[in-house]
Amino acid sequence: MSKCRIVQCMNPPKDWTKCRESETVLITGDGRTLPDDVKQFESWQVPHDVFCVNRSLLYFQRPINHWAAVDAEESVWFSQYCNSDVLPKGKWIWRHIIGVCRGYDFYWQGFGTFNTAASRIIWPGNSGYFAMMAALEIGYTKVILAGMPLDRNPCWYEPEDKPGPNWIGAMYTQWMDWKMESPKADRVRSMGGYSAFILGNATKEWCEK
């Protein structure tokens, strides 16, 4: 089974600090819990950057710091729906992708165990997993996941009766292995769901520690 343990940027800046406005980052996914997770986190009033994954960008009506996607169709979506609310004049969204793709700022590659040639090309995980590891490499000391319950409910922007993602066991195993093996795992928590079961629940006290 293929597993990615770490990502490294192929074109890193000389200094990642220009890409951070805070030492804490909130990474947002498209899970059903996104609105409630973000509201709860923001009620803590913890200074933070925002790192959106896929269409969670739409939830915010204010500038964000980073955006990431693994799937090519999400890149097309970004170019169509990115607006002045999240990208006002004079502001920039740092865009991250696995591999090399025009229109992105930073290109990343994964390292780990790959049992086939195809698995070195096809990302063995989800976009939230990629964003989490990228945020740690960027230098954030506290990483909080929101809207990543890793359950089978539909996305936050979809009808309630629509089927959700069909996560496979290997995906959960990859998250659990990372938690057990990564020396940076204690810097990550989640607002809820299976990701919180694996990584631990984020609390205001932990964020401020």
- For 1-27, write each residue's pLDDT tens digit: 556 778 999 999 999 999 999 999 999
Alpha-carbon distances, residue 90 vs 65, 104, 106, 168 (angstroms):
13, 18, 20, 42
Q: What confidence score (pLDDT) does residue 89 get?
A: 76
* Rounded Cα–Cα distance for residues 94 and 150 (Å): 25
- For 51-61, write each residue's pLDDT tens digit: 999 889 889 87
- For 125-169, write each residue's pLDDT tens digit: 588 999 999 999 999 999 999 999 999 999 999 999 998 888 877
Question: How many residues belong to the chain?
Answer: 209
Torsion of CA 142, 146, 148, 153, to 10 degrees: 170
Q: What confidence score (pLDDT) does residue 39 get?
A: 98
